[in-house]
Amino acid sequence: MTPLLITLGVVVVLVVLRAAVRVANRLDRLHVRTDAAWLALDSALVRRAVVVRTLIAAGGLPEVAEPGLATAAGRTTASASDREAVENELGRMLGALDRSTLDAALDVELADAEACVMLARRVYNDAVRDTRALRTRRVVRWLRLAGTAPWPRYFEIVDPPVDFTPTWQSRSARTRG
């Protein structure tokens, strides 16, 4: 072998190694982003459950809705596999709730908590999508750059149709007009 071929081979190996390191760093950053987004989503879900418990404690809910909401809000610390079902159940119950009967301050707090859940879920699912897309690339699979990290899972819950206008504002607008 000539020195030129050896030098060319070394350069090719270094270029491939540099590209693999860059992809591995990007994959690591995406996994960190996904983990951080999950923590934010979990925090938003817990906050929504706390607001529901506060509503129950304040007695601002119809008596028909209280037992079901109390049960659903209490189960939000379920295992990861059951979490989607529990959060969907809580979301459906909150969607069926008549917001006009709620205290204005608690209504605002609940609307804010639901908006945070919706936003955090979208950010998390975007991070999962990006991580999964990079993990399906050939170079990541061939060089096993993901290591033993588990595949991130989407968190699918139904977003309630949120008005983002607290009922106390819409009530005051109706009384003015």
CA 19 to CA 56: how far, in whole Å? Answer: 56
DSSP conformation class of 159: P
From the list 98, 21, 95, the residue with the least C-alpha distance to 60 is 98
pTM, to two decimals: 0.78
Q: How many CB atoms lie within 10 A of CB 133?
A: 10
Return the CATH number of the domain spanning residue range 36-176. Answer: 1.20.1440
- Calpha distance 112→125 (Å, rounded): 20
Residue 174 has pLDDT above 50, yes or no: no
The amino acid at residue 121 is: R
Cβ–Cβ < 8 Å for 48, 117: yes
Q: Tally Cβ neighbours within 10 Å of residue 11.
A: 10
Confidence of residue 77 (pLDDT cuts 50, 70, 90): low
| Bigger pLDDT: 159 vs 146 | 146
Break the chain into its structural domains and give their ranges.
Answer: 36-176
How confident is the model over 75-81, as a mean pLDDT? 65
pLDDT digits (tens, 9 = 90+) for 105-149: 888 888 899 999 999 999 999 999 999 999 999 888 888 888 888
> 165: helix, coil or strand?
coil
